[in-house]
Structure 1
Amino acid sequence: MAKLRFCVVFVFYLLLKCETANVDNISSDIKIKNVDRTIDISTQLVKISTKITLENTGKAPVKNFLLAVEASAKDNLAFIGAKDSNGKELKLAETTVKGHDNVKFWRVELKEALAAGASAAVSSEAVLTKVLTPYPTEITQQEDQFVKYNGNLYYYSPYTVASQKTTVNTNTKSIESFTKVKPFQQQETSLQYGPTTNIAPFTEKELSVHYKNNSPFLTVTRVERLIELSHWGNIAIEETIEIEHTGAKLKGPFSRYDYQQDERSSSASVSSYKTLLPASAADVYYRDTNGNISTSRMRVKKDSVELDLRPRYPLFGGWRTHYTLGYNVPSYEYLYHSGNDYLLKMRIIDHIFDDMQVDEVVTKIILPEGTAGLKLNLPYAVTRLPDTLHHTYLDTKGRPVITFIKKNVVENHIQDFQLRYTFPRLLMFQEPLLVVGFLYALFLCVIIYVRLDFSIHKSEHPHKE
């Protein structure tokens, strides 16, 4: 009975520890002296850069602080990061705060503890997708695209902000309307708010801007990236990409004649875009369901291969396209080994186009047959699917396949994964030996068939007299 009670108490203790492991408190010792925030809405992405000056008003050193994202924006957040005054990345960990269940929090670990009475400068960056709404939602072929941005006028923080300035960059003079809260100033292509003083924690006020935005509103709805590794010196990469124009939909018919006469009249459409491949990419192919697309152009640069992709037809709002892009790279640039231990280091996704937003990336890694001890290290959280086997020619058991999914991807997610595994080097001779054995057996059968007589009776030959 005593043992049972001990087990129950121990289990309860573990559950309590697990619940409180990622729970933080808002420190009353931390104040924000100044915030200088820039909101870039010139493309289809909303990029928010913030310079923060922290102050420790307490008596004990502070090792971390909290970043917060309001409930209205947390589902659109694709990336968030922080750096210190020297530009070095700070470690972020997602956490929670009691009483603020609808808010997303991140605990930021400082490189050095902030002493009592001291100040420190920190910068943060956030990228949001699908925040800009086309208004009107439908336009004709010759019309410009106007969109609306709705966000928070104030820097959303769990701490009191002593002073704040906000700059909104639109990259256009065509601003139809915007929120007018004093003090504000309208310049040619930007709006400036502030300075505003003594902003309470978790303060929200709507910031709305209606302006012209003809930048490409392309959304990659799905990318299936296949990486097939060979220990004979080659890595084959193939991407199946589905793209949709998510801007204002095309109203009325499309005229190819008007489009060819003056492409500038269709400024909201997308006729081509640039994809960047690794500098060592070779044997590049680009095709859709109808076959090879020959209107693509490739330029080899020092650090990349620039591929100018032009779909079969221009993309207007609501239109879609689907294509496959593949190439080969040498394995010695990405594969390292010591004895039977191997390390594969490659990008999870490559640059598809500028200011890209990707709904879902499915990455599949096909390894040589016989690999074991797979250990995958990723730079951010993904959803890993169960490992499977891929069967192809000369395989006996099948090749291991690792698959993982990442949603809401932007350019900040172009980072490397690391895959460690073991592979007996003698297995490299498995396929050549299978080919030699098959040919040997085939020739042996031919020799036996030619040399031996399998007829039931011998043929009678006439005798010569």
Structure 2
Amino acid sequence: MRLFSIAAAVLSLASAAVCAEKGNLTTPLTSRVVLPANFKPPQVFKNANLVHIVNLERGYPRELINVVIENIASTPQDEYFIPFTSQQMETIGGLEVKDKKDADGRLFEVEAVEFDPQSDTQFYRVRLPKALAPKAQQTLAISYSFLSSLRPLPSRIEQQENQFLVYTFSAYCPSSYVTSKQKTEVKFGTANIPEYTIIPGGKGEPESPQKQGTKFTYGPFGEVPAGALEPVRVRYEFTKPLIHVSRLERDIEVSHWGGNIAFEERYTMHNRAANLTKQFSRLQWAQQQYYNPPTTAIRELKFPLKVGSLTPYFTDVIGNVSTSRFRSNKREASLEIKPRYPIFGGWNYPFRIGWDADLKNFLRKLNGGDSYVLKVPFLEGPKQPEGLEYEHIELRIILPEGAENVKYSTTMPHISSSLGLHKTFMDTLGRTTLTLHAHNIVDDLRDRDVIVTYDYPFLAGLRKPLVIFGGVLSCFVAAWAVGCLDVGIRGKRS
């Protein structure tokens, strides 16, 4: 019987060696390129027409730039530079660039470049998939968001008082190139906008902004030189929470033997809304609930899960969250939880949730061989009308013990990755774990998937049963051997 234990151990070491040899991750989507200190983007492009859209309907600003670029150089060009300030570089998230006229086209390669750490202007470099010929044009759609960029003013309010936010941007869209014609549209979620910057008209241009319901339009403006700015400050009503998740730890554990996939998410949540001027009044809060007025407090969290999700659990630092509702049928799976207290501005709420699902809904085996394809959401989490922003996300995909040749692909922007081992109950050397890190992500990207391919040999699947069998058998043999020992005390024979 000892032979079984030795064989299982040798099998474990051999599988680990193969995994280490064949392990291969795709190249991360971001890189850091250092340019000379005197770098300036070459003036090889011109923005023939540009529309800058600033969306302030949610708890974070989302910006979209639709621009027609024209190659004004004498040779084909494939590098387009987008400028940002140093502060914006720290808070920018989800920067994506694609061809505006090709809705199903792939995203362009985007890199953060650095040329002078002391400079206030930094750049993202966009590589066009095909070099643009001289005098040719292409329409780019550039989208991104900024985290922690909305500031409550005043910073403290009464429990029933309305909240106002301030956001600062430029009416001239920041660009590294000359812009022939442009305008900036600002979309609000309310018509109550007591303060905003007015830009006088000139040279036949009307005064800005022009108002149309909850939309302001700055411009159109004539030719604007590269790097030109026109600061604009708006203050508007936003009586909703500003939900900020400083850290989300998301685990996805795959079990071939049990046919199960387990999800667990651990949140460190903070409300960035205006703080209360006085202590929270539970009586006043209870009275408000009769007519359900808008509030800056987080009252509940709604998690739309994948169809077929089951056995959810939800706890905070005290214990189980008892106020909850879970619905699961053939069309939907939804989990709703209410925190123990309304989370007002400046308050934190750490908690965790988890659930199980049938593995066959996420995993497919390829024809021939021992290769598998796993498709799971990169981000799920709450779906709130005001939106959520995530400062740091750590996703761990825990594969079966012995999985090898791991590769992944995802359209989530700016991902870093690593491959390691995760030891859990009854493991020998540990389970193969793919860890992905993302920064400054908003819930607009919650529909992005991660596709993981890996090999899981048949012998690797037998490793754990053999080890368990050998271990149990060894215990019985040891117990039998101990039972055969003569431990009695007898006197000497004369």
- Contact preservation (8 Å) 1:26, 1:97: no
Residue 195 of structure 2 corresponds to 177
SS of the aligned residue for 2:380 comes to coil
The offset of 1:170, in angstroms, is 1.6
Residue 275 of structure 1 corresponds to 303
Gap change, CA 1:72 and 1:173, over 3 Å in 2: same
- Contact preservation (8 Å) 1:90, 1:109: no
Which deviates the most, 47-56 or 64-73? 64-73
Give the aligned residue type for 1:370. Answer: G
1:432 alignment partner, one of 465, 468, 471? 465
- Contact preservation (8 Å) 1:176, 1:211: yes
Residue 134 of structure 1 corresponds to 152
The offset of 1:213, in angstroms, is 0.8
CA RMSD of aligned residues (A): 3.2
2:93 aligned with 1:65, yes or no?
Answer: no
- Contact preservation (8 Å) 2:147, 2:391: no
Gap change, CA 1:195 and 1:453, over 3 Å in 2: closer
2:218 alignment partner, one of 169, 185, 193? 193
Residue 55 of structure 2 corresponds to 40
Residue 94 of structure 2 corresponds to 79
2:391 aligned with 1:342, yes or no?
Answer: no
Aligned pairs for 1:386-425 within 5 A = 387-393=420-426, 395-414=427-446, 415-425=448-458
Query: How far apart, CA to CA, are the structure 2 residues paired with 1:58 and 1:406?
Result: 37
Give the aligned residue type for 2:305. Answer: L
Give the aligned residue type for 1:103. Answer: T
Aligned pairs for 1:232-243 within 5 A = 232=257, 233-243=259-269
Which deviates the most, 37-46 or 338-347? 338-347
The offset of 1:317, in angstroms, is 0.6
- Contact preservation (8 Å) 1:56, 1:117: yes
2:249 aligned with 1:231, yes or no?
Answer: no
- Per-residue CA distance 1:113-154 (angstroms, 9 max, x = gap): 444333332222121111110111111111011111111121
SS of the aligned residue for 2:177 comes to coil
Residue 312 of structure 2 corresponds to 284
SS of the aligned residue for 2:226 comes to coil
Give the aligned residue type for 2:423. Answer: H
Query: How far apart, CA to CA, are the structure 1 residues paired with 2:129 and 2:147?
Result: 30
The offset of 1:95, in angstroms, is 5.0
Query: How far apart, CA to CA, are the structure 1 residues paired with 2:248 and 2:211?
Result: 40
- Contact preservation (8 Å) 2:402, 2:461: no
Gap change, CA 1:315 and 1:457, over 3 Å in 2: closer
SS of the aligned residue for 2:284 comes to helix
Aligned pairs for 1:19-418 within 5 A = 26-84=41-99, 85-87=101-103, 88-96=105-113, 101-110=119-128, 112-182=130-200, 183-184=207-208, 185-232=210-257, 233-263=259-289, 264-265=292-293, 267-300=295-328, 304-338=332-366, 339-354=369-384, 355-377=387-409, 379=411, 380-384=413-417, 387-393=420-426, 395-414=427-446, 415-418=448-451
Larger RCO (CA within 8 A; separation ≥ 6): 2
- Per-residue CA distance 1:391-437 (angstroms, 9 max, x = gap): 312x2223233434322221254433343433321232333344545
Gap change, CA 1:446 and 1:79, over 3 Å in 2: closer
Query: How far apart, CA to CA, are the structure 2 residues paired with 1:279 and 1:297?
Result: 16
Gap change, CA 1:404 and 1:61, over 3 Å in 2: closer
Residue identity over aligned pairs, in percent, reads: 26
The offset of 1:157, in angstroms, is 0.8
Query: How far apart, CA to CA, are the structure 1 residues paired with 2:35 and 2:370?
Result: 42
- Contact preservation (8 Å) 2:300, 2:337: yes
Which deviates the most, 412-421 or 73-82? 412-421
Give the aligned residue type for 1:93. Answer: V
Give the aligned residue type for 1:32. Answer: N
Query: How far apart, CA to CA, are the structure 2 residues paired with 1:300 and 1:81?
Result: 35
- Contact preservation (8 Å) 1:143, 1:265: no
- Contact preservation (8 Å) 1:66, 1:106: yes
Gap change, CA 1:260 and 1:416, over 3 Å in 2: same
Note the residue ranges of structure 2 that are not aligned, 5 or more in a row.
1-32, 201-206
The offset of 1:347, in angstroms, is 2.7
Query: How far apart, CA to CA, are the structure 2 residues paired with 1:96 and 1:435?
Result: 52
The offset of 1:361, in angstroms, is 1.4
SS of the aligned residue for 1:292 comes to coil
Query: How far apart, CA to CA, are the structure 2 residues paired with 1:260 and 1:298?
Result: 24
Query: How far apart, CA to CA, are the structure 1 residues paired with 2:115 and 2:459?
Result: 57
The offset of 1:63, in angstroms, is 3.7
Residue 13 of structure 2 corresponds to none
Using structure 1 for the length normalisation, give the TM-score.
0.84
- Contact preservation (8 Å) 1:223, 1:240: yes
The offset of 1:69, in angstroms, is 2.5
Query: How far apart, CA to CA, are the structure 2 residues paired with 1:51 and 1:198?
Result: 17
Give the aligned residue type for 1:423. Answer: Y
Query: How far apart, CA to CA, are the structure 2 residues paired with 1:49 and 1:19?
Result: 27
Give the aligned residue type for 2:188. Answer: T
Which deviates the most, 432-441 or 324-333? 432-441
Give the aligned residue type for 1:310. Answer: K
SS of the aligned residue for 2:180 comes to strand
Give the aligned residue type for 1:340. Answer: D
Query: How far apart, CA to CA, are the structure 2 residues paired with 1:436 and 1:389?
Result: 22
Using structure 2 for the length normalisation, give the TM-score.
0.79
- Per-residue CA distance 1:239-290 (angstroms, 9 max, x = gap): 1112111110112121222212223456121201322222232211112233
- Contact preservation (8 Å) 2:71, 2:136: yes
